[in-house]
């Protein structure tokens, strides 16, 4: 989940009151912006739910949520579904797997509104990442209570099984403190695959009402191979060819640094360079590089050149060494009998986790569990910045999120 443009200026770790003020100002600014909404799109949204008031409401919420995330003005006919106020509280969740930071976004006046837990992707800002804040606040503004726990491992660029326990324990924590016996779970990027594994685990199965994955892995081994080869096989035997973003390979290098830097004495200095590169902190990267010996600098620069032959050779050796690890963070082989409702969404041009991974998930899930599957040109990895989407593509995305919101609000 690479750092991209920030949607909320200054969304670093803020105090609760400051964060609430920023979000309120953002909504007010958006409300003043002009927006052209085609009559056909609004009419289609209305027709989709014409026979069901709850389903119509969910589609209206969906349009509003997507507009808020994209920093667009919510169309006037849909503003009644958008709350004026969202209460934001900072929490420390005392989970069996360890105490973690979390933030709760609650629509004011609806303290026990339907709940969804949203888990961040691999990013050093964790639950403070601007897109996370924008997404959670937009859902809450439309009547959904949102909990965003921190995943310490994933925040530190380690995709490991420890995060599965945090996901499952968080679902149990919120379900036991709600009037609902189970809650929805939405996982972004690698957290989506881990959320499916939590739902498949008997310890947490009953606490998870449904799972939504956005841009997630089915097989970590296959994704690691994609970072090296630039292609990912689809279930139908065809191949998806797409040059991979450097981010994925760098995350695996950072996580398994022993495989790429055999001399332990060199590892701290090179880790500092890779960390700054992943953070897109150019001054810190230059400063870290300046501290290296000539030999260390050559190695660090080669690792950051993720398309070089020498780095590919190291990546292949690392893949083979960590096949057991890859299996522990891969839904494949674990979801064939899952009876939890699942909603799968992937960006068509995702070059961090290729869309073929969602096709594999859909192929493996039982038919009765797979409630929706969408490969959308509206999205890239986790951003609404896909190229060339049509009005029909946008409507399909609206419908997908409407299904999720309807599931959240259903008893």
Domains of the chain: 1-245+333-411 (3.40.50.1820), 257-321 (no CATH)
Query: Which residues does residue 88 pair with via DSSP β-bridges, in sequence order?
Result: 105
Q: How far from the centroid of its chain's Cα atoms is residue 207's Cα?
A: 20
Rounded CA-CA distance 81/383 in Å is 23
Helix ranges (DSSP H) in 305-346:
309-321, 323-328
Given the structure tokens 């900072």, which residue do they identify?
Answer: 90
Question: Tens digit of pLDDT for each residue in 283-304?
Answer: 999 999 999 999 999 999 999 9
Question: Tens digit of pLDDT for each residue in 105-147?
Answer: 999 888 888 899 999 999 999 999 988 998 999 899 888 999 9
pTM above 0.75, yes or no: yes
Secondary structure string (H, E, C) spanning 189-222: CHHHHHHHHHHHCCCCHHHEEEEEEECCCCCHHH
What per-residue confidence (pLDDT) applies to 211? 98
Among the listed residues 227, 19, 231, the one whose alpha carbon sits nearest the alpha carbon of residue 105: 19
Would you call 373 helix, strand, or coil by DSSP? strand
Residues with pLDDT less than 50, the chain: 2-15, 26-40, 43, 49, 51
Averaged confidence pLDDT in the chain:
86
């Amino acid at each position: 989940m690479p750092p991209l443009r920030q949607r909320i200026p200054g969304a670093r770790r803020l105090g609760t009151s400051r964060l609430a003020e920023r979000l309120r100002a953002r909504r007010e600014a958006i409300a003043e912006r002009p927006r052209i909404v085609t009559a056909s799109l609004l009419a289609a949204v209305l027709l989709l739910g014409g026979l069901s008031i709850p389903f119509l409401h969910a589609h209206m919420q969906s349009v509003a949520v997507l507009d808020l995330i994209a920093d667009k003005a919510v169309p006037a006919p849909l503003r009644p579904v958008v709350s004026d106020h969202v209460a934001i509280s900072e929490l420390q969740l005392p989970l069996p797997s360890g105490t973690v930071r979390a933030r709760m976004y609650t629509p004011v006046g609806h303290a026990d509104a339907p709940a969804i837990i949203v888990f961040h992707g691999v990013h050093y800002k964790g639950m403070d990442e601007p897109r996370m804040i924008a997404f959670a606040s937009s859902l809450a503004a439309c009547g959904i209570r949102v909990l965003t726990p921190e995943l310490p491992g994933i925040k530190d660029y380690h995709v490991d099984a420890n995060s599965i326990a945090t996901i499952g324990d968080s679902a149990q924590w919120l379900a036991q403190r709600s009037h609902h016996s189970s809650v929805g779970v939405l996982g972004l990027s690698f957290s989506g695959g881990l959320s499916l594994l939590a739902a498949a685990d008997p310890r947490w199965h009953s606490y998870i009402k449904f799972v939504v994955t956005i841009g997630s892995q089915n097989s970590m081994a296959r994704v690691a191979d994609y970072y090296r080869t630039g292609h990912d096989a689809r279930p139908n035997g065809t191949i998806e060819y797409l040059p991979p973003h450097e981010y994925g390979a760098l995350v695996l290098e950072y996580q398994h640094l022993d495989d790429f830097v055999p001399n332990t004495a060199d590892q701290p200095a090179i880790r500092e360079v890779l960390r700054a590169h992943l953070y897109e902190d150019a001054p810190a990267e230059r400063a870290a590089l300046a501290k290296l010996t000539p030999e260390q600098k050559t190695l660090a620069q080669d690792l950051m050149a993720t398309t070089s032959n020498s780095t590919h050779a190291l990546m292949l050796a690392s893949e083979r060494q960590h096949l057991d690890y890859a299996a522990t963070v891969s839904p494949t082989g674990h979801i064939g009998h899952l009876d939890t409702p699942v909603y799968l969404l992937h960006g068509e041009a995702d070059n961090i986790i290729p869309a073929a991974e969602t096709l594999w998930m859909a192929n493996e899930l039982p038919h009765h569990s797979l409630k929706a599957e969408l490969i959308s040109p509206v999205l890239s990895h986790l951003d609404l910045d896909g190229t060339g989407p049509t009005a029909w593509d946008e409507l399909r995305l609206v419908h997908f999120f409407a299904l999720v919101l309807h599931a959240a609000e259903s008893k």
